[in-house]
Amino acid sequence: MRLRIAASLAGLLVLTLLAVPVLAQEPLRIGLQAPITGPWAYEGEMARNSVEIVRDQINARGGVLGRPIEIVLGDDQGNPRQSALVAQRMVSEGVVAVVGTYGSSINEPASTIYERAGVVNIGYGSTAVQLTQHGWQYFFRTCFRDDRQGAFFAQLVNETLQAARVAILHDNTTFARGLAEAARASLQEAGQAEIVFYDAVTPGERDFSPILSRMRARSPEVVYYTGYYPEAALIARQMRDLGIDAVFVGGNAAINDEFVEIAGREVAAGSLMTQEPLPTDLPYPQSKAFLDEYVKRHGQPPSSPWPVYAADALNVLAAAIEATGSTDGKVLAGYIHDTLQIDGVTGPISFDAAGDREGAIYLAYEVASDGSLVPYER
């Protein structure tokens, strides 16, 4: 009898030892919420490409805490309702943390759900100021805030373009309205250029000629559109059709390859954009290594800044999990708030008490005659 018990215990020990490597390899499941379909699918696809590169780099180094990273994809379609449904699914599936989404008004309902569940959510393309004014403990962002971009636009108008008459258009989304208000406040504070027109368009519309005709009567020298690229391209084209020769300036969601394709290269050329540095203009060693891999896989670098901020959101999560040895949301949030400092694809990263990334860098870009975006010089 004793021999049988000893044999059984020995067998159990063997099974346990065999199970250890399996448990050690259990993946860390991290969510990526992005618009994989819908009007912003182009941005969502670039974000997925970027996060997959970082995942593969980390896994090639042995993973995090000895475990490989698995990305759980959630397609929010660029829609607030779908965004909430994706967040509920992420929570119910028990993801450790989430790389948040493109679009402030899309991220907001999801962030409410992640906050209640204690799941860290790092936004990569959600720049509206109000997102970090809710007192949330689990929301962070690797991108920068709209008020800092608004101040940069005012500086561009007053010091570089030296324009006297400015029109501002937005689309009433959380992001676009916030950036428009920030730009208006900065221009008014500077007291140099006059804001001669300020209004909103409706996302998804195709014909903007009525509002553009009213704007034309105010003779702006600069038009700043703070919404997204599908409407931005149509507005730029219809401005020219109506004989409006003002400089078209887009906010940091207005211009990418799709903008050039929709507007047409001839119309797009000369358009300006205020935004964070493009991936190709980042000077850091991590940036070059990341871009080399991106081009190797996809043939060309990302045409907007947002995908690399998604890449860095995953870098932040991996660093926090490794440093704390924990996947607990409260532990991770505390560490990211108080201690985390890393060198990411987009440069040094740390966060303030509200969850905003510290520092900010903006540049003005121009669409060149071949459709590429180049730093604007005058």
The C-alpha atoms of residue 171 and residue 199 are separated, in whole angstroms, by: 8
Q: Which pLDDT score is estimated for 24?
A: 56
Tally Cβ neighbours within 10 Å of residue 2.
Answer: 6
Q: Which pLDDT score is estimated for 376?
A: 94
Burial of 191 from C-beta contacts in 10 A (0-12 / 13-18 / 19+): exposed
The string of pLDDT tens digits covering residues 45-97 is 999 999 999 999 999 999 999 999 999 999 999 999 999 999 999 999 999 99
SS3 238: helix
Q: Which pLDDT score is estimated for 57?
A: 96
Q: Which pLDDT score is estimated for 2?
A: 43
Q: Which pLDDT score is estimated for 303?
A: 84
- All structural domains of the chain, each given as residue ranges with its CATH number in brackets, are 28-144+283-349 (3.40.50.2300), 147-275 (3.40.50.2300)
Beta bridge partners of 64: 67
Report the predicted TM-score, pTM, of the whole model to 2 decimal places.
0.79
Host H or E run for residue 169 = strand 165-170
- Which residue stretches of the chain have pLDDT < 70? 1-24
Give φ, ψ of 362 to 5 degrees.
Answer: -125, 150
Q: Which tokens sit at 141? A: 């962002």
The C-alpha atoms of residue 357 and residue 144 are separated, in whole angstroms, by: 6
Q: Which pLDDT score is estimated for 103?
A: 87
Minimal CA–CA distance to 274: which of 246, 253, 303, 302?
Answer: 253
Minimal CA–CA distance to 330: which of 109, 114, 28?
Answer: 114
The C-alpha atoms of residue 124 and residue 313 are separated, in whole angstroms, by: 7
Q: Which pLDDT score is estimated for 247?
A: 98
The C-alpha atoms of residue 306 and residue 292 are separated, in whole angstroms, by: 17
Give φ, ψ of 204 to 5 degrees.
Answer: 95, -15
